[in-house]
Each structure stands twice: as C-alpha cells, then as structure tokens.
Amino acid sequence: MKNTAVLLIDCPDRKGLVARVAGLLYERGANILHADQHQDHDLGLFFMRVEWATAWGSPLDESGARDAVRADAFDGNFDLEGFRDAFAVLARELGMRWQLTTNARRPRVALFCSQFLHCMADLLHRWRTGELDCEIPLIVSNHRAVEQLAGFYGVPFEYVPVTAAARGEAEAHQLALLEQHGVDLVVLARYMQILSPAFVARYPAAIINVHHSFLPAFTGARPYHAAHARGVKLIGATSHYVTEALDDGPIIEQDVARISHRDQVEDLVARGRDLERLVLARAVRWHLDRRILCYGNKTVVFD
C-alpha cells in the first residue's frame, strides 16, 4: 500500500487509549487501514500500531475515467504535520512514547556478511522481486566471497578486512560508509564478527542479526556443533536486534526444525540454513513495515 503513515505507541495502560487515538484520527479525516494493540498486564503497559492512508483519489468509472461528481468526496491528502502537532499534545497528556513515519522515503539498508552467503543471496532475491521495500546501497564484507553476488544484483560492494590489531580502524571505515550512504538499517546476514559497543550505539534497534540457534540456547560460535553434542531433538534459528551483550538482544523471530539421533553436524547445518533464511527475512520485512516495538529486552511484533 503506497501513501500510508504508521503510528507506533507504547505507554502506561489505562482505559480509553484506543478510543482517544482512533478519535483523533477520525477528527483529522484519516482512513485507517490497519490497527492492532497489545497489553502487557504484568508491567501495565499498552502498545499500539495504526496505519492509515495519507493520500487517496476518486474512484474510477467503468471506462477507467475519474468520477467527477464524487471527486471532492475522495480526492485529498492527509494533513500529517497537523496531526503530528495535535497528537504530540495527546501523547504528553497520556505519557506516550511514539513514532510517526510514512513510506514517502524508502529505508536504506546495508547488508554485512562474511563467507556464508545463503542469507545474503536470499535477501537480495527478495529485494529484487519487491518483497523487501527498501534501498540497498551497500554490501560490506570482511571476505571477497560475496563480491560476485553483489555485482550480479548491481549493489556496491566494500571489502573491509577485520583483524584483531585493526578492528577499530575497520569499524571506523564501516561507520563512515554507512553515513556516506545514508543507511537506516544494518543487517548482519551471517556476519561473523562482534560489533563494538560504540558501533551498536550508533544504530539503536537498527541492527538485525541472525543467530544459528534457538536462543538463548547455544550462544556464541559453533552452535550446531554444541547442539549435536548435547543431543537435542530440535534445532532453531533466531533473528534479533543487536545490543552490547552478545546474542542477547530483543528477539524478533524464531523457527525450529525437528532432528533425530541419526543427524550429524553437517545435517544440522544444512537444515539450519533454511531456518536462518526465513527468520532473517521475516525480521527485516517486519522492521521495514514498521511492525516492531522494543521494550526492555523484548519485542512486540504487530500483525
């Protein structure tokens, strides 16, 4: 849906919140397309997502021409700035944290990876076919394995080697590239490097990682080997926002596959890669659709 606005809200729960928000949108002439809300009863918190049209046109008659008689009733543009000012007053009254965005500008996403390319290839394919509504101005890797794939999709590639002795210089270069390309979201598509706290602080709730286990189980490196050694019957993959704590950020999406004693590490890796593709693609799409709210170390993912 083009020409829409999305309002994300979290605040202390109380009676009448939905009515107050919907009423203000109604007064401003909004055509609400989607609305969803959630309550955390233990913490007494309320969360809401509302999406509405910001521009609309008159209907077409059977010949494909505009219906001039009804044009005044349908043609129009939503006064977004007027609504922003009015909602700010309501938000202060009710103690709301809120985000108001439109799809007038497509988010700009940078993809990072190392040697494993299955998640990268999947994201690029979904982007090319229109499933991911964003711009991808940059691919960054500490290996050259992805360079040919980046060239196939016409995305600029930057090789930034990372060593223990020069990690700070590498990150400074990466951050400069992100700023140069106006990046809004960083996606770690199996980027096998730990980002510094300073890097993470530059993109709060805007770095998405995929971890090849069902977190919080088997954090760190070689989780499939650890899962096989433990003899688990389910393996999984997790997409999450990156925080300073390794593999401990707010979880966005997870999926699992059943395995048995017959499966070896190689089987777990092969089956896990399918899960990794899925959970990462879902997380990126939901972030781009502005369906995620973080609170504490958890997320609300709206339908």
The CATH number given to whatever domain includes residue 283 is 3.40.50.170
Q: Are residues 64 and 165 in the same domain?
A: no
Q: Are residues 114 and 243 in the same domain?
A: yes
The fraction of the chain above a pLDDT of 90, given in percent, is 87
Q: Is 191 helix (H, G, I), strand (E, B) or coil?
A: coil
Q: Are residues 68 and 122 in the same domain?
A: no
* pLDDT, tens digit (0-9, with 9 covering 90-100), for 199-257: 999 999 999 999 999 999 999 889 999 999 999 999 999 999 999 998 999 999 999 99
Domains held by the chain: number: 2
For the chain, give percent helix, strand, coil, nearest 5.
35, 30, 35
Q: Are residues 72 and 51 in the same domain?
A: yes
d(CA 123, CA 145): 16
Q: Are residues 95 and 237 in the same domain?
A: no
Does the pLDDT at position 293 exceed 80?
yes
Q: Are residues 138 and 279 in the same domain?
A: yes
Q: Are residues 280 and 178 in the same domain?
A: yes
Residues forming the active site: 247
The fraction of the chain above a pLDDT of 70, given in percent, is 92
Domain range for 215 is: 108-301
pLDDT at 57: 59
Mean pLDDT of the chain: 92
Does the pLDDT at position 59 exceed 50?
no
Q: Are residues 112 and 98 in the same domain?
A: no
- Going by the DSSP 8-state scheme, the letter that residue 14 receives in this structure is -
Q: Are residues 203 and 81 in the same domain?
A: no
Give the residue from 174, 124, 118 showing the smallest Cα distance to 153.
124
Q: Of the residues 71, 102, 133, which one is the last residue of a structural domain?
A: 102
Q: Are residues 131 and 254 in the same domain?
A: yes
Q: Of the residues 102, 132, 164, which one is the last residue of a structural domain?
A: 102
The two beta strands, 135-141 and 108-113, are parallel
Does the pLDDT at position 60 exceed 80?
no
pTM (2 d.p.): 0.91
Give the residue from 203, 183, 182, 184 showing the smallest Cα distance to 249.
203
* pLDDT, tens digit (0-9, with 9 covering 90-100), for 71-88: 333 446 899 999 999 999
d(CA 21, CA 25): 6
The two beta strands, 55-56 and 31-40, are unpaired
Q: Of the residues 102, 127, 160, which one is the last residue of a structural domain?
A: 102
Question: Could you tell me the strand order of the sheet in which 157-159 lies?
Answer: 157-159, 135-141, 108-113, 185-188, 207-211, 234-241, 251-258
Q: Are residues 142 and 227 in the same domain?
A: yes
Q: Are residues 8 and 39 in the same domain?
A: yes
Pull the structure tokens for residue 59: 């209907």
